Structure 1
């Protein structure tokens, strides 16, 4: 009798344990790699240590790395959350210094491995460099626009020298003790006396110069032009320019070795290349296929299950079956602004970016940016409803907000009081249309009714749920980041079953960032194959159900 009851319970998809109805285990999904990972999440500042290693800063990955130039091996010197570096430099005593763009902290790691905060509460910390006499300077950019001087030992507070420069980025000091650096907003390379503030233009006419370094002779500057993808040599005495090498757009920083080899980072391609100026040849130092894959989307009627990937520095199309990447739009060289979440409408792709505080609507066929809507409230998940209005999850304010189709866009609050809303998925075909939202702060999946904003909890007790998608059988697939697992939730009962665990997802939260800042994306193809982005590995995985298996109801 007991055997028959057990068989019926399993056939019904549930099992009674201690009076509780538990879901039957899901089918054994096969985990596969769609796109292999990378050691970085968008590489930025570079510095040579003089011992055969290249230091590289990793802003979103919150780490500082060392690359062995003889082998290409990458190791982590400082991990998250302290290592959120936009730029990195070596001090006279061998200490490593780096700037925390989001944390607003200037950090130092001494040769004996001790790490400390030298300055804080300076959002937008960006570039830094030492003068020959050991004085240390750094800039704010984006979240500020200033040049500062800092005691390298941190015994004195930082001293602001100049403001309103036009976004001074990767700079260096010459033998004349003048600061040489690019002004992003002006397309210029300037020379500045940091003591008097006297500034003069060395060269101009760049698309977006992001960094400069001197060659071994100290008579020429190498300039990385991010928008044009050019490495340019500038004769300091005359300002004459020569393009040395043509590279992909998205260059972020550079450093020059004593042999005049130029190491260049590209945040869009998440790689580092070395250029030989004598012949313009280029070879890779560290390669990657994705930068920071976060939000994912797939059209339910697409038999090839092609993924739209919000890769932070690019919007990419990735073949769900074969992993082939078709790049659609890159930041800086287009009007797109650092996508972190993505969803699909009938004819549009909708992107959100907590990075630069905006939502964008793109034409799904051409990739053209049709609308840009500012939003500085930590916007995460975003959906386009059937009437063209948008629904935004604001992680910082805890609200779901409607944005109408008018220009300028008008907004209304659908509901508020959510705890870090991150992921959104539509349930608009129900009798009472609504949306499901993950709350990273409360550990809930909540359903919000579109007619009046009324909400009810669907599942509780989760740990940091982020990405969410609907399965063809109606179930909810959720990335439970806090437990490093992928789960299926029955929206009718709230029962949760684990599909995969021990996943490499969930960079630690960092000071100055909204909840779920780099979201773990989830998508489901029409075949029932599940797709997951890994922020820790900069990779994409798929979970394939057994052939012919019945999906859990």
Structure 2
């Protein structure tokens, strides 16, 4: 009897995906799971000498000002112009910053006007002024490894000085007018004569040094080693090293005040801490719980509705009911990719990242990395099919591709002609198994049949749909980012119902980034509770169905 009832219930659930959903959707109550942050991963730092710390926010496309007395954060330059990897102040008080994705060098003059000084510099990363007012920048990543001089006024084109240094990151000039900085690839701190191009080693033996700054006497360099989570003091004259403080891994940059207090940013924890090098004491200046929450997944059989959150700089497990973060796997200190989407298979977690151009399969129990597949075609959503193959959305090519379960990982095109595919959710239990895809540029939700790649438009007229998930009743829950709302779509009729509107989702598109680059994630628990990530607020929300209440 029980077995019969179970089979009947299962059959009913399978049938619902092919039928119109007759019952009206419930009314939902919006609640905060994890409160937000002013940053989406904090990077370069600079003191303005007026009681404020400037902080660059690459993925949030902003430059911020932080009151050192209160820790209050304000936005100096907002998206999309403020996409800064590093930030510094010029001799006249202008603020300069580098656009890693846009390839633009930007300047905000004291009168509040913003200017583009240079462009077409992919991977633009660190910058610093020499005492004579000359400005230098590095490019690293995106196929570049170079040091160049740029005109602070923007009148002259950039002049490349050196290439192939080994990824020169956060640097500063000494009193000898030579550049001091870390080489990521070799674990060294070097001294560069920008006039002759000569390079000397100052200190070595670091795991992954990412930035340096001088102390107030200009005799010592403070170095952050992101892999070890260490703040290290280096005696420039001898190269001797001393660990000043142990911090969490994921450190990105630093700056040193006239009182020798060291301000350190951490992109994984999305925070800024202040270290007193005299005793190693650490205090928070700006705190956060999430960094860049994007893709979401929840196991359908999990009664606690524990969420997997692709937080770009970390993969986190978050309690859907209590918001507690129970597990964090950090980038750089592990072999994990920079996760932007996440999906769950029976035994595996699948991560995908357009940031690094990778799809990664990890063991759900141990967290062990099992496979990493390169994909530089703007990879978005990825999921594992029951036979172990992967299905991957390529935003750049408009294709859905299958990746073989066995190595070497061969690929075949399931379908093409999609317009900015972003989110994927499987419909493999149907009579004709398929997958639903959100197309961010066309505004469609499309069903693709797995047997032959045949496509059917489920819904159209949406504006920038990104995250998608299936409700237990068979409905599709979609983050319609362009209209700042969450909608429920009947997969049989295409009829949509608004669940919530006026949401804080959808950072503006930025030059150098594909549409839907930072996806707004959606997941649905077995209880019918809907979970949503906010890229604008770096927050996590849930929408709880109100018992006995239905929409008209």
TM-score range, shorter chain: over 0.9
Is contact 2:299-2:525 (8 Å) kept?
Answer: yes
Displacement after TM superposition at 1:27 (Å): 1.9
CA distance in 2, matches of 1:22, 1:532: 22
Match of 2:418 in 1: 418
Displacement after TM superposition at 1:509 (Å): 1.0
Q: TM-score, normalised by structure 2?
A: 0.95
Name whichever of 401-410 and 295-304 sits farther off.
Answer: 401-410
Question: Map of 1:5-154 to 2, 5 A cutoff?
Answer: 26-143=25-142, 144-154=144-154
Q: 1:435 to 1:103 in 2, by over 3 A?
A: same
Displacement after TM superposition at 1:408 (Å): 2.0
Match of 1:399 in 2: 399
CA distance in 1, matches of 2:123, 2:441: 26
CA distance in 2, matches of 1:394, 1:306: 28
Match of 1:315 in 2: 315
SS state at 1:452 partner: coil
Does residue 371 of structure 2 align to residue 371 of structure 1? Answer: yes
Displacement after TM superposition at 1:34 (Å): 0.2
Does residue 184 of structure 2 align to residue 184 of structure 1? Answer: yes
Is contact 2:316-2:329 (8 Å) kept?
Answer: yes
Q: TM-score, normalised by structure 1?
A: 0.95
Displacement after TM superposition at 1:58 (Å): 0.2
Match of 1:172 in 2: 172
Superposed CA deviations along residues 461-499 of structure 1, whole A, max 9, x for unmatched, are 000000000000000000000000000000000000000
CA distance in 2, matches of 1:467, 1:51: 42
Displacement after TM superposition at 1:550 (Å): 7.0
Displacement after TM superposition at 1:329 (Å): 1.1
Match of 1:485 in 2: 485
CA distance in 2, matches of 1:477, 1:551: 15
Aligned residues: 532
Displacement after TM superposition at 1:354 (Å): 0.2
Displacement after TM superposition at 1:551 (Å): 9.4
SS state at 2:227 partner: coil
CA distance in 2, matches of 1:422, 1:129: 37
Name whichever of 510-519 and 179-188 sits farther off.
Answer: 510-519
CA distance in 2, matches of 1:256, 1:438: 46
CA distance in 2, matches of 1:383, 1:451: 16
Question: Map of 1:348-363 to 2, 5 A cutoff?
Answer: 348-363=348-363
SS state at 2:91 partner: coil
- After superposition, the CA RMSD in angstroms is 1.3
SS state at 1:29 partner: strand
Is contact 2:42-2:55 (8 Å) kept?
Answer: yes
CA distance in 1, matches of 2:295, 2:308: 8
Displacement after TM superposition at 1:511 (Å): 1.1
Superposed CA deviations along residues 68-96 of structure 1, whole A, max 9, x for unmatched, are 11111100010110100000000000000
CA distance in 1, matches of 2:220, 2:24: 65
Displacement after TM superposition at 1:22 (Å): 12
CA distance in 2, matches of 1:161, 1:203: 23
Is contact 1:383-1:424 (8 Å) kept?
Answer: yes
Displacement after TM superposition at 1:239 (Å): 0.3
Displacement after TM superposition at 1:57 (Å): 0.2
Is contact 1:23-1:496 (8 Å) kept?
Answer: no
Is contact 1:473-1:551 (8 Å) kept?
Answer: no
CA distance in 2, matches of 1:509, 1:23: 37
Displacement after TM superposition at 1:546 (Å): 1.1
Question: Map of 1:130-529 to 2, 5 A cutoff?
Answer: 130-143=129-142, 144-529=144-529
Is contact 2:296-2:309 (8 Å) kept?
Answer: yes
SS state at 2:546 partner: coil
Displacement after TM superposition at 1:25 (Å): 5.9
SS state at 2:36 partner: coil
SS state at 1:339 partner: coil
Is contact 2:531-2:542 (8 Å) kept?
Answer: yes
Q: 1:499 to 1:228 in 2, by over 3 A?
A: same
